[in-house]
Amino acid sequence: MADMSLEDAKHGQQQFLSFIMANEEYGVDILSVQEIRGWEPTTVLPNAPDYVKGVINLRGTIVPIIDLRQKFGIKSLEYGTTTVVIVVKVTMEDAQKIIGIVVDAVSDVFSIEEDEIRRAPDFGHETDLRFIKGLANVQDKMVILLEINRLLGSAILPDPDTLSRILDNIDQQSQALSA
Amino acid sequence: MDIDLSQFSQVFFEESIEGLAAMESELLKLDVDAPDPETINTIFRAAHSIKGGSATFGFMAVANYTHLLETLLDEIRDGRRRMTPDHVDMLLHSVDLLRGMIDSLMNKSEFNDPKLPQLEQRLAQALASNNAPETSQPEPAESSAAPVASDADSAIEDCWYIDFKAGFDIMRCGNDPLLMFAELEAKGEVQVSLLPPQFPAWDDFDPEGCYLHWQLKVITDAPQKSLQEVFEWVEDECEISYQRGCSTVTGEALQAADDTVDTQVGAISQAGAVSQAAVLGQSISQSTSQSVNQSQAATPIAGSSLPTATAVTPIEKAPQAQAAKQAASAKNAESSSIRVSTEKIDMLINMVGELVITQAMLGQIGQQEEINQESLLLLQQGLEQLASHTRDLQESVMQIRMLPISFAFNRFPRLVRDIGQQLGKKVELVLKGEDTELDKTVLEKIVDPMVHLVRNSLDHGLELPEARLARGKSETGTITLNAFHQGGCIVIEIVDDGAGLNTEKILMKARQKGLVGPDEELPEESIHQLIFKPGFSTADTVSDLSGRGVGMDVVKRNIHELNGTIELRSEAGKGSRFTIRLPLTLAILDGQLIRIGKHIYVVPLVSIYESLQVPSNRINKLSDGHELIRLRDEYLPVIKVFREFNHDADAKEIKDGLVMVVDNNNEKTGLLVDELLAQQQVVIKSLEDNYTRIPGISGATILGDGTVALIIDVAGLVNLAGISNSKEHAA
C-alpha cells in the first residue's frame, strides 16, 4: 500500500487526521502531527493566556499545551483519562515549534483530493479566517480543515465570540448541506 | 562535472584563522635579535598552508599576498636575511590584513582595504633591500631571484613548458588528451611535440592502453592555475610537470632556453624524480608531492642557471595543519564547530561501552521468569552501575564543550603590545592558569568583557614609565590574567599594578552627573562600585581606547547575563584587581528548589544570599504597595512572587513565609516563598524553543520525577514587580 500513498501524493491527495471537539469534526494535515498522547498534568506558566495550559516534558523537550476549545472560545471540558493531546509540528516565523493541542477525541484518518476541498464560506466581515483551510465532506460528515500553522502561529485569531459564531454558522451550513 | 569546492571552504577558513593566530602568537614570542629557527618555521608553515589553501580555493588575493610573506620568511629562515623589528611589525600587520581578507571572503563581501597595496609595497621593498647577515656571503643571483619570484603569479605573457606523460589507463577513463590540448589552445598558442613512444613488445601490447608522452609549449597570459585546470581530471594518473619560461626573451635566447628546457624536461620524465627537478629550478610536480624544503634548496641553482625562469613554490594539496592545530585560536572559539581531543572521545566511547554492558545485564535480569532475592540484588547492583555510568557520561559530554581559557587569553599579548606601544607605556603581560577549562559558550561571551577590562587597565590603570619611576615602582607595569576553578565556578582575575582607582575623581564625576548627592559621603567600596554605573567615565580625554563611558556597565551586564559576578578591589597607588566569577557551563545550573503554593521553581544558587523568616515588626509598607524588610542595617524590597505570577500561595503575607534574599545587579532583593526544597544541579532547557519568553522566567528544567520546573530570572522578576531601584527606596 506504500505505493498507493505515493500515488496519492502525486495526484494532489492529502491525508488528514480528524478530531472531535464540541460535536464538530476538524482535520489537520497528518504530516504535521508528531504523536497523540493522553492528557497529563502540566506545569503552569505564569501570566500565560487561559488557553495555554502549561508545559510538559516530552522526552526532554519542553512542549507547551494549548486547549483548542478555549482558543476557539468554547467552554473547556474537565480533563479526564480520555482527553487527548495531539502533538503537532508548527512552523512559526521560520522556526519549527512543537506544540500539544488538547481536543475531545481523535476520530479518523482520511484522504482528500485537493479539488474536493471547498473554500470556507465568506462571512463578509473583516474576520481573518485564514486559519481555516477549507471544508470537506467525508462520508456525509462535514470536516473543517485547519491550517495549523496559522491557527497556532502568529496570526491573530478573531475574538472567541466571533469565532464561536462563525463556527455555529459553519455548523448550520453543513446541516443545510446534509439535509 | 565539477566538484563543489565551497563545501570545503569553511574548513579552509577555520584553518586559516587558526594559522593566523599561530603566526601571531609566534611572532609575539619571537626574539628579534636571536630568532629561534623553530619559531620562524612555525610562522612559515602557517603562511605556507594559507597560501596553499587559498590557491586551491581560488582566493588569489590571499594567495598572492601570502606568497610575498612566504618569500620573506623563507629568506629569514634560510639565514639569508636578518630579522628586524620592522619585519615583525610588518608581519603582524599582514596577519591583521589577512584576517580581514578571510573575514570578507567568509561573508562574501568585497575586500578593499587601502592597507593592502601599502603593505604589499612595503613587503616588496623589504624583499628588494639587501639585508643579509654578515656571516653568510650571498650570491648575487639570490637577491635577484627573490623579487622575480614575488610576481610569479602576475599576468605577463608567459611561456610554459608542460611535460605530459599520459597515464596508461587514461583512454579507458574516457579522457582524451587531444581534447585537453584543444582546451589549452583556447588559452594561448600551443606547440605540441610527441616524444618517441616506447611501446612494449607486441605480445604485451595493450591496444586500449596509452603509451604516449608529450611535451607542450604554451604561450599564454593565463595563470598557471588555469593551465592546471585543464589537466585537473587526469593529474592523479598522469605525470605532469610545469616549467615556466618567459616569452619576452628574444628569439635566440628563447631557442636556447627552449633547448635546455627540452633536454631537462626530458630528464625529469625519465627519472621522474624530485632530485632531478631541482636542476630545473622550482618546477611544480603534481604527480610527485614535493616538499617545501626540497624546492627551497633548488632556488639558488635556478637563479644562476636559468635567470629567466621564475620560481613558483609548489602548491601543496594537503595543508600542513599540525602547527595550526596545536596553536590555539581565539577566533576559532567563535565558529560553530569545535575541535575535540581524541582523548576525550575515547573516554566517551569507553563509557558508552560500559553503558551497553550494563544495559545487557539489566536486560538479562528482565527476561527472567521470576524475580527472586538473588536477581533482585543483581538488579539493584545493575541500577547502581547504570546511575554511576550515566553520571560519568554526562560529565564527559560536558567536557566536550569545555575549552581551555587560553583560547581567550591568546589574543591579549597582541592587544597589550599594540596598546602599550600606542600609549607609550611599558607593559609586561603575565598569563596564569591558561589550561583552566570552561564551557565554549561562556568562553565566547567572556572575551569581550575581558578585552574591555584589559584595555581599561592599560589606559587608566598603568602609569607612564616616568610616573612609575617617580613612585618608586619599576618602569615596566604588569598586567596579570589569572584563571582558576573555585567551588564549581571559574574565577578570572585581571590584575594590574598601576595607579588604582582615583576615588576623588570618581566621586567628583559622580556628583557632576548627579549619581551621588553633593554632600553625600560614601565608603571607598561604594565609590568603586560607581564605575559600573551606565554613562560613567573618568577619563579626561575620550580616546578610541576607553573613556566613552559605555564600558563598565556593559561589562557588568554581559557578565550577569552569564549568571556571573564581577568584583573590583583597588588600592590607590598599588593597582586594581577585577575578579570575574562565572559558572562553568551555561547548560547546567546549581539550583535551589523552592515551593510557592502548588508550584515548584528553581532559583540559581549563585544569586541567593540567605533565606530567613521576618517578624512583622521589621516589615514596612510603602504607600505604593511595595513592602520593605529591615535586614541588619539594610532595607530590602520584597517581591511577592505568587502575586507577580498570578497564582495561589500558602504564605500571602511576608510574616507567614520565608524571605529569600537574592542578588539583583549587586542589590539585594527579597523573594517571598513558601518552602525551601532540595538543592540540586539542573539542566537548563529553553522555553523559547517551543513557546515564547516569559517575563520573570529564564528557562525550564526537568526534575527527577519527569515534571517540568521553571527557573526564576531574578532581574526579570524585579522588572515585573515594578521595583526600579531598591536603593532609592532605601534612601
Q: What is the overall mean pLDDT for chain B?
A: 74
A58 in contact with chain B, both atoms CB, cutoff 8 A: no
pLDDT of residue A161: 67
Indicate the SS3 state at residue B208.
Answer: coil
- CA pair distance B221, B155, nearest whole angstrom: 6
Residue type, B708: V
Q: How far is A99 from chain B (nearest CA, A)?
A: 7
Q: In which band, very low, low, confident or very high, does the pLDDT at B245 lie, cut at 50, 70 and 90?
A: low
Tell me which chain B residues have a C-beta less than 8 angstroms from the C-beta of A60: 685, 702
User: With 90 as the cut, is the pLDDT of residue B710 above it?
Assistant: yes
**Chain A residue nearest residue B705, CA to CA:** A57
Q: Which of B645, B646, B707 sits opposite A57 (nearest CB)?
A: B707
A99 in contact with chain B, both atoms CB, cutoff 8 A: yes
Among B183-187, B277-281, B525-529, B705-709, the range scoring the smallest mean pLDDT is: B277-281
Tell me which chain A residues have a C-beta less than 8 angstroms from the C-beta of B708: 42-43, 54-57, 62
Count of domains for chain A: 1
A49 in contact with chain B, both atoms CB, cutoff 8 A: no
User: With 70 as the cut, is the pLDDT of residue B58 above it?
Assistant: yes
More confident residue, B168 or B274: B168
Q: What is the DSSP letter of A119?
A: P
User: With 80 as the cut, is the pLDDT of residue B493 above it?
Assistant: yes
Mean pLDDT of A48-77: 86
Mean pLDDT of A84-107: 87
**Chain B residue nearest residue A99, CA to CA:** B690
Mean pLDDT of A35-62: 88
User: With 50 as the cut, is the pLDDT of residue A155 above it?
Assistant: no
**Chain A residue nearest residue B597, CA to CA:** A44
Nearest residue to B330 (alpha-carbon basis) of B33, B615, B44, B25 = B25
Q: Which of B689, B696, B707 sits opposite A46 (nearest CB)?
A: B696
User: With 80 as the cut, is the pLDDT of residue B48 above it?
Assistant: yes
pLDDT of residue A101: 92
Cα B104 from chain centroid (whole Å): 16
Give the H/E segment covering residue A54: strand A52-58
pLDDT of residue B2: 52
pLDDT of residue B71: 83
User: Of all residues in chain B, what percent are helix, strand and coil, respectively (each to 5)?
Assistant: 45, 20, 35
- CA pair distance B306, B259, nearest whole angstrom: 12
Give the C-alpha distances (Å, rounded to integers) separating B485 from A53, B488, B691. 42, 7, 35
Sequence-ordered list of residues with C-beta below 8 angstroms from that of B544, at least 6 positions apart, any chain = none
Q: How far is B647 from chain A (nearest CA, A)?
A: 8
The answer to whether the Cβ–Cβ distance between A98 and B700 falls below 8 Å is no
- CA pair distance B544, B557, nearest whole angstrom: 21
Cα B236 from chain centroid (whole Å): 35
Provide the residue count of chain B. Answer: 731
Tell me the per-residue pLDDT of B425-463, one tens digit each, with 9 for 90 and over. 888 899 998 888 888 888 888 888 888 888 888 888 888
Q: How large is the C-alpha radius of gyration of chain B? A: 35
User: With 50 as the cut, is the pLDDT of residue B89 above it?
Assistant: yes
- CA pair distance A166, A157, nearest whole angstrom: 12
- Chain A, chain B: beta-carbon pairs less than 8 Å apart: 62
Whole domain around residue A107: which residue ranges? 2-178
Tell me the per-residue pLDDT of B25-46, one tens digit each, with 9 for 90 and over. 888 877 777 777 788 888 888 8
pLDDT of residue B284: 40
Q: Are strands B437-439 and A105-113 parallel, antiparallel or unpaired?
A: unpaired
Indicate the SS3 state at residue B416.
Answer: helix
- CA pair distance B254, B246, nearest whole angstrom: 8
Q: What percent of chain A has pLDDT over 90?
A: 18
A56 in contact with chain B, both atoms CB, cutoff 8 A: yes
pLDDT of residue A35: 92
A177 in contact with chain B, both atoms CB, cutoff 8 A: no
Owner of C-alpha cell 462563525: A166
User: With 90 as the cut, is the pLDDT of residue B709 above it?
Assistant: yes
Q: In which band, very low, low, confident or very high, does the pLDDT at B594 lie, cut at 50, 70 and 90?
A: very high
Q: In which band, very low, low, confident or very high, does the pLDDT at B302 lie, cut at 50, 70 and 90?
A: very low
Per DSSP (E only), the strands in B182-338 are 188-194, 213-220, 239-246, 284-285
The answer to whether the Cβ–Cβ distance between B700 and A64 falls below 8 Å is no
DSSP assignment of B189-206 equals EEEEEEPPP----GGG--
Give the H/E segment covering residue B588: strand B588-596
* Domain CATH for A90: 2.40.50.180
Residue B597: CB atoms within 10 A of its CB come to 17
More confident residue, A167 or B146: A167
Indicate the SS3 state at residue B645.
Answer: coil
- Highest averaged pLDDT of the listed ranges A104-108, B214-218, B286-290, B662-666: A104-108
Tell me the per-residue pLDDT of B456-482, one tens digit each, with 9 for 90 and over. 888 888 888 888 888 888 888 899 999
- CA pair distance B507, B520, nearest whole angstrom: 10
Q: In which band, very low, low, confident or very high, does the pLDDT at A86 lie, cut at 50, 70 and 90?
A: very high
pLDDT of residue B393: 86
Q: What percent of chain B has pLDDT over 70?
A: 78
| Cell, residue B159 | 611561456
Cα B715 from chain centroid (whole Å): 32
A64 in contact with chain B, both atoms CB, cutoff 8 A: yes
Tell me the per-residue pLDDT of B172-209, one tens digit each, with 9 for 90 and over. 777 777 777 777 777 777 878 777 777 777 777 777 77
Query: For residue A35, with 0-12 CB atoms within 10 Å meaning exposed, 13-18 middle and 19 or more buried, which class applies?
Result: exposed
Q: What percent of chain B has pLDDT over 90?
A: 6
pLDDT of residue B293: 41
Mean pLDDT of B297-309: 39
Q: Nearest 5 degrees, angle CA B604-CA B606-CA B609?
A: 105
Mean pLDDT of B254-263: 48
Tell me which chain B residues have a C-beta less than 8 angstroms from the C-beta of A97: 689-691
- CA pair distance A21, A86, nearest whole angstrom: 12
pLDDT of residue A179: 54
Phi/psi of residue B146, each to 5°? -60, -50
Helix axes of B440-456 and B412-423: crossing angle, nearest 10 degrees: 10
Residue type, B347: M
The answer to whether the Cβ–Cβ distance between A64 and B697 falls below 8 Å is no
Q: In which band, very low, low, confident or very high, does the pLDDT at A157 lie, cut at 50, 70 and 90?
A: low
B712 in contact with chain A, both atoms CB, cutoff 8 A: no
Mean pLDDT of A8-14: 64
- CA pair distance B667, B522, nearest whole angstrom: 16
pLDDT of residue B600: 92
Indicate the SS3 state at residue B40.
Answer: helix
- CA pair distance B557, B132, nearest whole angstrom: 54
Tell me the per-residue pLDDT of B263-301, one tens digit each, with 9 for 90 and over. 444 444 444 444 443 444 444 434 344 444 443 444 344
Give the H/E segment covering residue B528: helix B524-529
User: With 80 as the cut, is the pLDDT of residue B672 above it?
Assistant: yes
Q: How far is B703 from chain A (nearest CA, A)?
A: 10
Tell me the per-residue pLDDT of B360-412, one tens digit each, with 9 for 90 and over. 988 888 887 777 888 888 888 888 888 888 888 877 887 787 888 888 888 88
More confident residue, B544 or B580: B580
Tell me which chain B residues have a C-beta less than 8 angstroms from the C-beta of A98: 690
Give the H/E segment covering residue B718: helix B714-721
pLDDT of residue B592: 93
- CA pair distance A84, A79, nearest whole angstrom: 9
The answer to whether the Cβ–Cβ distance between B697 and A46 falls below 8 Å is yes
Q: Which of A55, A98, A99 sits opposite B700 (nearest CB)?
A: A55
More confident residue, A166 or B557: B557
User: With 80 as the cut, is the pLDDT of residue A19 above it?
Assistant: yes
Yes or no: say if B419 and B462 are a contact pair by the CB < 8 Å rule: no
Yes or no: say if B336 and B11 are a contact pair by the CB < 8 Å rule: no
User: With 80 as the cut, is the pLDDT of residue B720 above it?
Assistant: yes
Tell me the per-residue pLDDT of B325-361, one tens digit each, with 9 for 90 and over. 333 333 333 446 777 778 888 888 988 998 899 889 8
